[in-house]
Structure 1
Amino acid sequence: MNKKKILIVTRNLPPLIGGMERLNWHIADELSHENEILLLSHKDAQNTAPQNCNFYGVRLNPLPLFLITAFIKTFLICVVKKPDILFAGSGLTAPITVLLAKIFRIKSIVYIHGLDIATNHWLYNTIWIPMIRAADRIIANSTPTQDICLRKGIPTEKICIIYPGVTYPPLPQDNEIIESIREKYHLHDKKILISVGRLTQRKGLNEFVALALPNIIKNIPNTVLVVIGDTPSQSLNKNLQSKELILETAAKHDIAGHILFVGNISEDYVLSSWYYLADIHVFPVKHIPDDPEGFGMVAIEAAAHGTPTVAFATGGIVDAVQNNESGYLVEKNDYTSFTQATIKALHRDEQNWRRNCCDFSAQFAWSKFEKKLIKVLIGI
């Protein structure tokens, strides 16, 4: 493939925290191996952006100002740098990339994550959805996201699925860090459940603590739930939960001593060590049609470390967990079955679990993600 000049426009980049942010970082990084990448995002992302990208920043907030200034700067970059492709990192920036791609007679690609196509807000449906439809190529992050795109009137021939990737093989197991974590948090002889991600209503952690965790602890009293993540401060989704709410719920069931909040973790080796340390990754995402889970990158990250996931079969999670191999998928919102599946998983042979998880996650390696992206670029 001839080297292309690609301008990626996205609001979702670290240090903002979330799966979309990590994915957009990797899109820029993977494409930069064979192409010239121009990356436009919020100013705070400059220090953590991939090194091989030419970065352009605008203010993150308020959102209308971000969109206006991003449009103006994208226009100027197109005039000066003359990119071959405009790439929207989510549906949010699709109007910017698609409209300017039409004006400058170049190609446009939009990566869709789930919520950015499923929302039923009248303004979004009036402006954003038609712009997404007009893109030259739409990449969906899962089979359910593709189905939503089709229901929104996006032509089948424009859509392809590229699942988010994972670092595989993962960072090597650092027993010194793992042991220091055990000591710090008194986790010797504990069965460890981890939840990794932002505390939003969709993630369903408060409901899990109320409706599943008490019975899990009743059956396996040395169980501890470790919560990695926090309530997001910059999220566009305002349906949030909080540490205080979850602890209040736990106190009502007399299990507050079985929950450990460690906050957001930015150090890769530390987060990797938690995955290695955990027995099970729990992913009790609620089924909310207007707020779907697009994929579930954390389930793949857990699997890469040999850690299985127990999750509700909703949204793109059905693509991120292979039932009976990398974990268990449970009928959505069935907390009794979720409890039983978690207890079953904790009793299952650990060695077989870890081997099956690693085998499943290998297909999501970033190197394979890059090849799929390149294939889209060639075909556009």
Structure 2
Amino acid sequence: MKVLFIARNYPPHVGGAERLNYNLAQNLGKFVDVKVIPNRFGKYSPLFHVYSIFKIMLNRDKVDIVFLSDAYLSPIIPVIKKIVKKPVVIKVHGLDITVPNKIYQFFIPKFVNMADNVVCISRATREECIKRGISPDKCKVILIGIDKEHQKTYTHSKKADGKQLNIANKHVLLSVGRLVKRKGINWFVENVIPKLVEKDKNFVYIIAGDGPYRKIIENIISNKGLERYVKLLGKVSDEDLELLYNIADIFIMPNIPVDGDMEGFGIVILEASSHGIPVIASNLEGIKDAVVNEKTGVLVEPLDPDMFAKEILKMLESVRENRKIKKKIRQMVLDKYNWNKISQKYYSTFALLTKKTNGGFLYESRDSGGEY
């Protein structure tokens, strides 16, 4: 089976979607012949749509199926269906279907619905697709994968050095991500950190990432005198991030609901969990599919500072008492979100459309909201 993968977000560009598409292409290559058409234009440039159509036309006789990386690319589906006449599968993340723009919402869901299959990376994303008129029968939930092979071991990092951060012998809470409203980090610093300080001063909350809410967070830290307890690092290198994952006791993802902006999944949760870090996160949107509640972490209702503080203190006690908890979490995550299994599910979706199995595996869709 030959698949043409049109990837709007792809290395050398950096980001969660870029890592997802790269890992997916690499692992799909074990089951099908994948040719990637990466974006060499701006992230939102319409030139990539034109370029993609050109590349699809050139390869029309060499491919069995066209796979689009996200809903932003859906306007090219009518061309593929009418001129190239190949089956189309499109992957939807969340933000690419919930953009709060009337013109966007009028056209994009209609284009997405023209695809033969719509792969949603979480149940929450599937729900958003169906709300917008996309056929439930087309929407399949296939979660994101993680590989243990992506991890590396580093022994030193200037930015994350323990002495420099003054975190020796302290419990480490960690958040990683772009500092935007939906991530809820400013809310967490303002409402939860002071409650933790009242109960246990032997901790530090490290935030790795940058974005428009950085200044807001800096002001909260300063106004509340939390400099000893909150360390805002900004963007960090892969080496620094690996070190942070290795020293963290709990990973925090305190997202809050924001109209038109959603967390499609939460790749950083899988990255943290694959290092054995227990997660405490908001019971919200696609995050619910990234945490195995009460096993790899705990889901807390968003905007509940008392419950966040309670669960963090409880988790810190569990980590102190049970040193094997990290090993269990790591193994469970690598088993459940194994890229090999995830790729086979994509393969099954393609095979059912093209009627080509090549001796591979076919997964039947279950009744759990279209999830494979």
Q: CA deviation at 1:203?
A: 0.5
Query: Alpha carbons of 1:342 and 1:40: their partners in 2 closer, same or farther (altered >3 Å)?
Result: same
Aligned residues: 347
Q: CA deviation at 1:185?
A: 2.8
Corresponding residue to 1:356 among 322, 328, 350: 328
Mapped pair 1:259 → 2:242? no
Q: CA deviation at 1:366?
A: 1.5
Residue identity matched to 2:232: F
Mapped pair 1:9 → 2:2? no
Residue identity matched to 1:20: A
Cα pair 1:309 1:327 within 8 Å, conserved: yes
1:252-276 superposed Cα distances (whole Å, 9 cap, x missing partner):
1110232223333342x54233112
Mapped pair 1:301 → 2:271? yes
1:306-326 superposed Cα distances (whole Å, 9 cap, x missing partner):
101111100011111122211
1:100-144 superposed Cα distances (whole Å, 9 cap, x missing partner):
243210011111111222334211122111000110110011111
Q: CA deviation at 1:34?
A: 3.8
Larger deviation, residues 72-81 vs 105-114:
72-81
1:127-206 counterparts in 2 under 5 A?
Answer: 127-168=107-148, 171=151, 174=154, 176-177=155-156, 181-206=161-186
Q: CA deviation at 1:15?
A: 4.5
Larger deviation, residues 334-343 vs 148-157:
148-157
Residue identity matched to 1:260: K
Mapped pair 1:60 → 2:42? yes
Q: CA deviation at 1:178?
A: 7.8
1:358-377 counterparts in 2 under 5 A?
Answer: 358-362=330-334, 363-377=336-350
Residue identity matched to 2:213: Q
Query: Alpha carbons of 1:275 and 1:138: their partners in 2 closer, same or farther (altered >3 Å)?
Result: same
Larger deviation, residues 244-253 vs 346-355:
346-355
- Which structure has greater helix proportion? 1
Mapped pair 1:39 → 2:36? yes
**Aligned to 1:305, what secondary structure does the other structure show?**
coil
Q: CA deviation at 1:282?
A: 0.5
Residue identity matched to 2:156: I
Which residue is equivalent to 1:73? 51
Mapped pair 1:23 → 2:5? no
TM-score (norm 2): 0.86
Larger deviation, residues 180-189 vs 363-372:
180-189
**Aligned to 1:293, what secondary structure does the other structure show?**
coil
Cα pair 1:113 1:141 within 8 Å, conserved: yes
Query: Alpha carbons of 1:324 and 1:173: their partners in 2 closer, same or farther (altered >3 Å)?
Result: farther
TM-score (norm 1): 0.85
Cα pair 2:251 2:279 within 8 Å, conserved: yes
Residue identity matched to 2:236: I
Rounded Cα–Cα distance in structure 2 between residues aligned with 1:227 and 1:126: 38
Rounded Cα–Cα distance in structure 2 between residues aligned with 1:97 and 1:28: 20
Rounded Cα–Cα distance in structure 2 between residues aligned with 1:293 and 1:314: 8
Q: Structure 1, unaligned stretches of length 5 or more?
A: 44-58, 232-239
Residue identity matched to 1:367: N
Cα pair 1:193 1:226 within 8 Å, conserved: yes
Residue identity matched to 2:273: A
Rounded Cα–Cα distance in structure 1 between residues aligned with 2:79 and 2:259: 29
Q: CA deviation at 1:350?
A: 4.1
Cα pair 1:111 1:140 within 8 Å, conserved: yes
Cα pair 1:325 1:353 within 8 Å, conserved: no
1:329-368 superposed Cα distances (whole Å, 9 cap, x missing partner):
1112112211111111111134243133123312102122
Cα pair 1:280 1:310 within 8 Å, conserved: yes
Q: CA deviation at 1:76?
A: 1.8
Rounded Cα–Cα distance in structure 1 between residues aligned with 2:29 and 2:97: 27
Q: Structure 2, unaligned stretches of length 5 or more?
A: 354-372
Percent of residue pairs bearing the same amino acid type: 27
Rounded Cα–Cα distance in structure 1 between residues aligned with 2:82 and 2:230: 52
Larger deviation, residues 10-19 vs 198-207:
10-19
Query: Alpha carbons of 1:124 and 1:350: their partners in 2 closer, same or farther (altered >3 Å)?
Result: farther
1:269-348 counterparts in 2 under 5 A?
Answer: 269-348=239-318
Q: CA deviation at 1:249?
A: 0.7
Cα pair 2:278 2:296 within 8 Å, conserved: yes
